[in-house]
């Protein structure tokens, strides 16, 4: 365990972990949008900024990408940090003024008005959906496209996400809840990625419980027995 301090409080973290994880475990709140425990830290939203002092030198950096190092002093609420976070949340709010979570976060940080032209986007470009799809699911169905202010999270060539298995991991992980899924009869659709897949029926209850593609992929990845997904999760337990 590596000892260091956050806001003067002594904390410990395992080697390879980052400041944000240790802070959250210790009950120290640091706002964040693009971090999720199931994927590698990315450092895109920039909200989890903190000030880190190491060997007498202090700098502002994102806590999700900073590894725990012995003896570092981390400050999570300095004037500099709060000032930067306020502008960043204002920028995100200007981009997605309709997102409920962003509105709440902005209010909490003391941002009550937006000084920029409001856009009507819904995605905050945190990249969590794409990273989960790559690192956890292994489907790589969506990715960032284009650079700079044209950046977008889309299926290849803006068409249907052909390698999407409609597992819904992106739906769950999206912090602003803009990836929606619908199920009708034996079909599941991930609306944002224009992907509709047939679902499998449970041998016991007869419900359609998951897309065929998803079950095949999972069976193959975790090397499950052939008949493992013949019954749904509810009937198995």
Partner 1 sequence: MKIQTKSDLEKMREKGLKSLYPGTTKISVGMATCGLSTGAGKVYEALQKEIEKAKVPMRLEKTGCIGFCQREPVVDILEPGKPRVFYQGVVPERCSELVQKWLENKVVEDLLFCKMEKEDRILEGTVKDYSIRTIPSGIDGTPSYHQVPFYSKQLKIALRNCGFINPDHLEEYIARGGYFALYKALFEMKPEEIIEGVKRSGLRGRGGAGFATGNKWESCRRAKGDRKFILCNADEGDPGAYMDRSILEGDPHSVIEGMIIGAYAIGAHEGFIYVRNEYPLAIQKLKIAILQAEEAGLLGDNILGSGFSLKINLFRGGGAFVCGESTALMASIEGKVGEPRAKHIHTTESGLWDKPSNLNNVETWNNVPMIISRGADWYSKIGTAGSKGTKVFSIVGKVKNTGLIEVPMGMTLREIVYDIGGGIPDGKKFKAVQTGGPSGGCIPESLIDLTVDFDRLTEAGSMMGSGGMIVMDESTCMVDVAKYFMNFLKSESCGKCTSCREGTKRMHEILTEITEGRGTTDHIELLKELGWVTAEASLCQLGGTAPNPVLSTIRYFREEYQEHILNKRCPAKVCRALLQYRILSDVCTRCGRCAKVCSVKAITGKKKTKKEAGEPFQIDTEKCIKCGMCFETCKFEAVEVQ
CB 133 within 8 A of CB 169: yes
Residues 62-101: x/- map of binding to partner 1 (CB under 8 A)?
A: x--xxx------------x--xx--xx--xx-xx------
CB 33 within 8 A of CB 124: yes
| 65 vs 196, beta carbon nearer partner 1 | 65
Phi, psi of 18 (to 5 degrees): -120, 170
Q: By CB under 8 A, which span of 9-17, 109-117, 179-187, 193-201 interacts with partner 1?
A: 109-117
| Angle, in degrees to the nearest 10, between helices 100-108 and 79-95 | 150
Among 32, 46, 192, 195, binds partner 1 (CB under 8 A): 46
CB 84 within 8 A of CB 61: no
| 147 contributes a contact to partner 1 by CB under 8 A | yes
How far apart (Å, rounded) are the C-alpha atoms in residues 216 and 63?
38
Among 13, 28, 61, 74, binds partner 1 (CB under 8 A): 61
Among 57, 112, 150, 226, binds partner 1 (CB under 8 A): 150
How far apart (Å, rounded) are the C-alpha atoms in residues 197 and 205?
20
Residues that bind partner 1 (CB under 8 A): 42-47, 49, 60-62, 65-67, 80, 83-84, 87-88, 91-92, 94-95, 115-117, 124-125, 127, 143-144, 146-151
């Amino acid at each position: 365990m590596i000892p260091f301090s956050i806001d003067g409080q002594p904390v410990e973290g395992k080697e390879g972990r980052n400041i944000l994880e240790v802070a959250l475990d210790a009950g120290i709140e640091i706002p964040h949008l693009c971090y999720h425990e199931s994927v590698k830290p990315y450092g895109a939203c920039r909200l989890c900024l903190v000030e880190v002092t190491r060997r007498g030198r202090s700098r502002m950096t994102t806590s999700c990408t900073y590894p725990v190092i012995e003896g570092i002093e981390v400050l999570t609420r300095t004037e500099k940090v709060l000032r930067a976070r306020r502008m960043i949340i204002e920028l995100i709010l200007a981009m997605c003024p309709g997102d409920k979570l962003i509105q709440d976060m902005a209010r909490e940080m003391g941002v009550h008005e937006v000084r920029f032209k409001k856009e009507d986007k819904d995605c905050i470009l945190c990249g969590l959906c794409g990273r989960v799809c790559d690192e956890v699911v292994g489907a790589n169905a969506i990715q960032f496209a284009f650079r700079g202010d044209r950046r977008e999270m889309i299926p290849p060539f803006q068409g249907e996400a052909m390698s999407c298995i409609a597992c819904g991991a992106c739906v769950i992980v999206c912090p602003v809840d803009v990836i929606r899924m619908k199920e009708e009869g034996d079909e599941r659709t991930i609306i944002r990625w224009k992907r509709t897949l047939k679902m499998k029926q449970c041998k016991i209850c007869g419900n359609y419980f998951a897309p065929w593609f998803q079950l095949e992929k999972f069976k193959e990845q975790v090397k499950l027995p052939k008949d493992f997904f013949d019954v749904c999760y509810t009937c198995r337990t």
